[in-house]
Amino acid sequence: MMIDTSQRAILRSLWFHGALSRSELHDLTGMTPNAVGNEVLQLQRLGLVKELGPKPSTGGRPQIPLILDPSSRRILGISIEPGRVEIAELGLNGDLTVAPISKMVEAEGRLLPTATRLARSYCVRRTLMAAASITGLIDHLTGSILLSSSAPHQNQLSTSVLLKGLDDVPLIIGNDLHAAAGRWAVTHRSQLQEDTLLIAFDDGRMGAVMVINGRPNHGCIIGANELGHTRFPVQTPMCYCGQSGCMERIFSREFLGADVAPAEFTNRVQAAAADDGKSIEMIKLLIMACANAVNFVRPSRLVLASRFMASNSFSQRLTNGIRESVLPHLAERVQIDSWDIKVAGSAETAAWLGLASLLFESWESYPSTVAAGAQHAPVM
Ligand SMILES: [Zn+2]
């Protein structure tokens, strides 16, 4: 499936404006009426666009509204995280059509084969593409996973098993932060042109991605994806990256105590009571890591993405803390947003990366149009 720039412009207009007639598409995109007609026909053939009944005529030719077809094609989302894979399916209107299904996988060497098997069983004719997200750093030239908490003991994990396993279904792969940024881009149109730093965190996970001029910037190892491995001089268990004191190890259950259960961790993070020194220290270091990233990147907008942002008091504490810790002129200028979203291990968010790649240029981090087994072609 190849979507070209003009077709993308039409899909994007329909996504952001809802139902539009061909002549409205012509006004919005600047394409000639003929070109709009031809591209729409192609998109109808691919099952991406469909006609609604004509609007009541006000004289002249009836206007037939077009919409993104919500049911004929689907995007399969695949999430690969430490010890677990998850699959979900998304319609082109952004609704889940198959609720997420997950599988625990103990051996890290089995993660990709299990994800492949699970994904295969959901690939059907209506599957337009598959989009996979994985924790860690992906080499976009070779498709190798270079450093991942999902497979800390493997030097380089090849994604070719997934690529081969899905046969003809186009596949894109991004890291989980990249997928979250794609979801942000598709659902926050008004902020698309702003340089955005998105920082996501969960228990034992942290990362960041930059969106510049509406496009993802893959960044360098330390600057972008690997914010979780920013180190502080505090005692933590050894990180899989080989160091201790990494932010990912600080913002984690283990940091609060050896037997802290997931629910207790959530409660203590969100409450951060005055007598809970360990939680307060943890949040202080989280604030410092975020503020450092803002001071270096100097974005227009900072998006704090985490399920923990569901708590107003935590969100306020974090936002105010960051504002107090960044350079004064940045404190005035940077817009800080809380985004209550599950980033880690979400197949739904992976599927949104697929939707982003359909609507925007440059989100196809790693398309699989090359033959299985062939050398992966560089795409960026
Ligand atoms: Zn680390």
303 lies in the same domain as 288: yes
The rounded distance, in Å, linking the Cα atoms of 317 and 313 is 6
- Higher pLDDT: 144 or 160? It is 160
Q: Across residues 148-159, what is the average pLDDT?
A: 63
Q: Are strands 127-134 and 171-175 parallel, antiparallel or unpaired?
A: parallel
- Higher pLDDT: 213 or 121? It is 121
Q: What are the pLDDT digits (tens) for 240-258? A: 888 899 999 999 999 999 8
User: Best-predicted range by mean pLDDT among 119-123, 309-313, 376-380?
Assistant: 309-313
The rounded distance, in Å, linking the Cα atoms of 158 and 144 is 5
Report CA(249)–ligand 1 centroid distance (Å).
7
175 lies in the same domain as 216: no
Confidence of residue 73 (pLDDT cuts 50, 70, 90): very high
Cα distances from 92 to residues 1, 15, 88, 256, in angstroms, run 15, 9, 13, 42
Amino acid identity at 56: P
- Higher pLDDT: 214 or 294? It is 294
pLDDT of residue 214: 72
Report CA(228)–ligand 1 centroid distance (Å).
7
pLDDT of residue 146: 61
Report CA(323)–ligand 1 centroid distance (Å).
26
Phi and psi dihedrals of 80, rounded to 5? -120, 115
Is the pLDDT confidence value at 96 over 50? yes
Residue located via tokens 């450092």: 292
8 A C-beta contact, residue 127 and residue 354? no
How many domains in the chain?
A: 3
Q: Which two tokens stand for residue 337?
A: 């947003």
165 lies in the same domain as 220: no
254 lies in the same domain as 334: yes
Confidence of residue 377 (pLDDT cuts 50, 70, 90): very low
Domain that holds residue 42: 5-68
Percent of the chain residues topping a pLDDT of 70: 85
Report CA(153)–ligand 1 centroid distance (Å).
13
Residue 87 lies in a domain: yes
350 lies in the same domain as 320: no
Report CA(94)–ligand 1 centroid distance (Å).
34
Is the pLDDT confidence value at 206 over 70? yes
CATH number, domain at 314? 3.30.420.40
Report CA(244)–ligand 1 centroid distance (Å).
7
Is the pLDDT confidence value at 235 over 60? yes
Residue 313 lies in a domain: yes
Q: Across residues 122-138, what is the average pLDDT?
A: 84
323 lies in the same domain as 199: yes
Is the pLDDT confidence value at 141 over 70? no
Residue 231 Cα to chain centre, angstroms: 24
pLDDT of residue 371: 32
200 lies in the same domain as 279: yes
Q: Which two tokens stand for residue 377?
A: 């072609």
- Higher pLDDT: 8 or 151? It is 8
Question: pLDDT averaged over the chain?
Answer: 85
353 lies in the same domain as 326: no
pLDDT of residue 34: 95
User: Best-predicted range by mean pLDDT among 82-91, 230-239, 316-325?
Assistant: 316-325
Q: Considering just the CA atoms, what is the radius of gyration of the chain in Å?
A: 22
Dihedral sign computed on CA atoms, order 202, 172, 75, 86? negative
327 lies in the same domain as 351: no
56 lies in the same domain as 156: no
Residue 374 Cα to chain centre, angstroms: 27
Dihedral sign computed on CA atoms, order 3, 4, 5, 11? negative
Report CA(135)–ligand 1 centroid distance (Å).
13
pLDDT of residue 215: 74
Is the pLDDT confidence value at 145 over 70? no
pLDDT of residue 104: 93
Q: Are strands 84-91 and 96-104 parallel, antiparallel or unpaired?
A: antiparallel
Report CA(62)–ligand 1 centroid distance (Å).
61
Report CA(146)–ligand 1 centroid distance (Å).
14
pLDDT of residue 372: 34
342, burial (CB in 10 Å: exposed 0-12, middle 13-18, buried 19+): middle
Q: Across residues 146-169, what is the average pLDDT?
A: 69
Question: Of 204-208, 218-222, 366-370, where does mean pLDDT reach its minimum?
Answer: 366-370
Report CA(236)–ligand 1 centroid distance (Å).
10
Confidence of residue 201 (pLDDT cuts 50, 70, 90): very high
Q: Are strands 205-212 and 196-202 parallel, antiparallel or unpaired?
A: antiparallel
248 lies in the same domain as 298: yes
Question: Of 63-77, 126-140, 264-278, where does mean pLDDT reach its minimum?
Answer: 126-140
Angle at 367 between CA 170 and CA 116, to 5 degrees: 55
Dihedral sign computed on CA atoms, order 133, 350, 83, 118? negative
268 lies in the same domain as 141: no
Q: Across residues 35-55, what is the average pLDDT?
A: 92
Report CA(275)–ligand 1 centroid distance (Å).
29
Report CA(149)–ligand 1 centroid distance (Å).
9
Report CA(68)–ligand 1 centroid distance (Å).
42
The rounded distance, in Å, linking the Cα atoms of 339 and 202 is 13
Q: Across residues 24-39, what is the average pLDDT?
A: 95
Report CA(183)–ligand 1 centroid distance (Å).
26
In 3-state terms, what secondary structure has residue 135? coil
Q: Across residues 137-155, what is the average pLDDT?
A: 64
Closest CA to 353 of 122, 96, 78, 149: 78
Count CB-CB contacts under 10 A for residue 204: 21
Report CA(177)–ligand 1 centroid distance (Å).
16
Confidence of residue 367 (pLDDT cuts 50, 70, 90): very low
CATH number, domain at 33? 1.10.10.10
pLDDT of residue 369: 38
Confidence of residue 156 (pLDDT cuts 50, 70, 90): low
Amino acid identity at 284: K
Q: Across residues 113-123, what is the average pLDDT?
A: 88
Residue 379 lies in a domain: no
Count CB-CB contacts under 10 A for residue 236: 19
Q: What are the pLDDT digits (tens) for 256-277? A: 998 999 999 999 999 888 899 9
Report CA(185)–ligand 1 centroid distance (Å).
28
